[in-house]
Amino acid sequence: MARVVVSLKIFPSDIDVDLNALRERIEKSLPSYASVYRFEEEPIAFGLVALIAHIVLPEDRAGGLDEIERCIQGLEGVGDIQTIMVRRV
């Protein structure tokens, strides 16, 4: 079974959001079939830093990306999500 890596840019709702705590909440909120490969930080402007989450999930999971986006969007401290890239590994 092939896997897919999804790169999501996660914008915090405020510059005061603790990114380490947000990382933990993201990892805990993911469905059992998905896992975080790694996180990166990207400075945006005026002290705002976005998280880039690289998430691995099975290729044959229908609607998996939508479910992951809904899980993350519902977390405290998340302002917006943008899908950057989806690639097969």
Over residues 33-52, the pLDDT tens digits come to 999 999 999 999 888 999 99
Give percent above pLDDT 70 in the chain: 100
The single-letter code of the amino acid at 6 is V
CA dist., res. 45 & res. 36, Å (int): 25
Q: Where are the domains of the chain?
A: 3-88
> Tokens 């705590």 belong to which residue?
21
Report the CATH fold assignment for 3-88: Alpha-Beta Plaits (3.30.70)
